[in-house]
């Protein structure tokens, strides 16, 4: 396979320039050292600050904050090039900051909130995290039990969050809490800005994961966390809709990450089977291996087109919930299918920790869960079939 995507009607010169810059950064400043990040369980802050200096953390944001004011396809390019590092934990650390957490602020922040936080977020001086998921509320955001009670000019937040990416090293958190305890379903949820160091806000524990090892993931505890009403992000009781809105961007980005990981795994496997000798000939000479790789390459190429077309439509402001849900469901499952086969064709080497394929296979598993489980996504698609 060609590691450089073929010419596309969706991408412009600015996207191609960004891709070249990102690829050079990953090759020179990530791949040589990222194995150490897997051992320590996080990406060093100086790496994120370096990405901020290079303009990689504000691709979608206005120039007044240091951004590049690009469209959804800019986020796709970022996700693809981060994923091609073969370190999924590094990729998700960056993408949560740029495309899953900070968009909450950009979409709903007041001018004062934007001026206070966005320059530091775009520069990588402050790392962002979004705290929605709870033990009983993952894909089902309606199940949130964390509460925020109005007390004079403040809100007092109580509850806990789990599986929060950038939870340990984050500086600013966008926390979902129930502000109307009597509201049913999705009603009565609000989003708050909570800074690290706010009294009562603590990291309960860093979580030990199967994959995405270089991404820090945490349980958060909020015990009588008092924040001023100024920290309310967007309209009170309308937080559910903010979460759903940003899920669209998040799922396109995760789909792009998954497809790029699948492409990279196929590239690595193609090189391996052409070199690996078995029964007097390269593995590539075995018809079943050639054909399985050819079929997977075909599926990945089709998925890539779906991602790119959906991102293009999203960038134009079109309603495409069905297609975004298709992207998340299809790509999350496909990357697991690809990595299973690639690991199989690497034989014993694919089971060794020194192999990129072993790491990528572990990292891929969460792609059908995080950001909306496949089953939930398929229900979203099913509800819209025939429309």
Instruction: Supply angle C-alpha 145, 148, 153, rounded to 5.
Output: 175
Could you read off the pLDDT tens digit of each residue along the chain, which spans 387 residues? 454 555 678 999 999 999 999 999 999 999 999 999 999 999 999 999 999 999 999 999 999 999 999 999 999 999 999 999 999 999 999 999 999 999 999 999 999 999 999 999 999 999 999 999 998 776 677 788 999 999 999 999 999 999 999 999 999 999 999 999 888 777 899 999 999 999 999 999 999 999 999 999 999 999 999 999 999 999 999 998 888 888 899 999 999 999 999 999 999 999 999 999 889 999 999 999 999 999 999 999 999 999 999 999 999 999 999 999 999 999 999 999 999 999 999 999 999 998 999 999 999 999 999 999 999 999 999 999 976
pTM: 0.94
Residue pair 328/255 in contact by the 8 Å Cβ criterion: yes
Instruction: Just list the catalytic residues.
Output: 250
The domains located in the chain, with CATH, are 13-126 (1.10.540.10), 129-237 (2.40.110.10), 241-384 (1.20.140.10)
Letter string b/e over residues 302-317, b meaning 16 or more CB atoms within 10 A of that residue's CB: ebbebbbbbbbbbbee
Residue 386: the pLDDT is 75
> pLDDT (tens digit, 9 = 90+) per residue, 268-285?
999 999 999 889 999 999
| Distance in angstroms (rounded) separating the CA atoms of residues 350 and 334 | 19
């Amino acid at each position: 396979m060609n590691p450089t995507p073929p010419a596309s009607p969706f991408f412009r010169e600015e996207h191609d320039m960004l891709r070249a810059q990102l690829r050079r950064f990953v090759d020179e400043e990530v791949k040589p050292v990222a194995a150490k990040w897997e051992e320590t369980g996080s990406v060093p802050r100086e790496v994120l600050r370096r990405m901020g200096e290079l303009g990689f953390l504000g691709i979608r944001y206005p120039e007044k904050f240091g951004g590049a004011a690009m469209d959804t396809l800019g986020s796709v390019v970022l996700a693809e090039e981060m994923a091609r590092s073969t370190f999924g934990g590094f990729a998700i650390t960056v993408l949560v900051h740029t495309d899953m957490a900070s968009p909450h602020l950009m979409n709903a922040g007041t001018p004062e909130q934007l001026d206070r936080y966005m320059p530091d977020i775009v520069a990588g001086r402050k790392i962002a995290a979004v705290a929605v998921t709870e033990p009983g509320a993952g894909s089902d955001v309606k199940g949130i039990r964390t509460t925020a009670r109005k007390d004079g000019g403040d809100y007092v937040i109580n509850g806990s969050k789990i599986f929060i990416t950038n939870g340990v090293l984050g500086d600013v958190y966008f926390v979902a809490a129930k502000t109307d305890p009597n509201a049913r379903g999705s009603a009565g949820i609000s989003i708050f800005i909570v800074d690290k160091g706010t009294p009562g806000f603590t990291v309960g524990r860093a979580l030990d994961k199967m994959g995405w090892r270089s991404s820090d993931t945490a349980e958060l505890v909020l015990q009588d966390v008092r924040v001023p009403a100024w920290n309310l992000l967007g309209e009170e009781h309308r937080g559910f809709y903010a979460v759903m809105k940003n899920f669209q961007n998040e799922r396109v980005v995760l789909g792009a990450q998954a497809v790029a990981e699948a492409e990279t795994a196929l590239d690595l496997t193609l090189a391996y089977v052409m070199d690996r000798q078995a029964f007097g000939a390269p593995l590539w000479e075995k018809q079943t291996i050639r054909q399985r790789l050819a079929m997977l390459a075909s599926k990945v190429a089709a998925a890539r087109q779906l991602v790119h077309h959906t991102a293009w439509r999203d960038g134009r402001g079109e309603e495409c919930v069905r297609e975004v849900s298709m992207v998340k469901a299809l790509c999350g499952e496909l990357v697991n299918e690809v990595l299973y086969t690639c690991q199989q064709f690497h034989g014993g080497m694919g089971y060794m920790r020194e192999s990129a394929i072993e790491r990528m296979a572990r990292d891929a598993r969460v792609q059908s869960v995080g950001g909306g489980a496949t089953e939930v996504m398929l229900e979203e698609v099913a509800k819209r079939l025939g429309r």
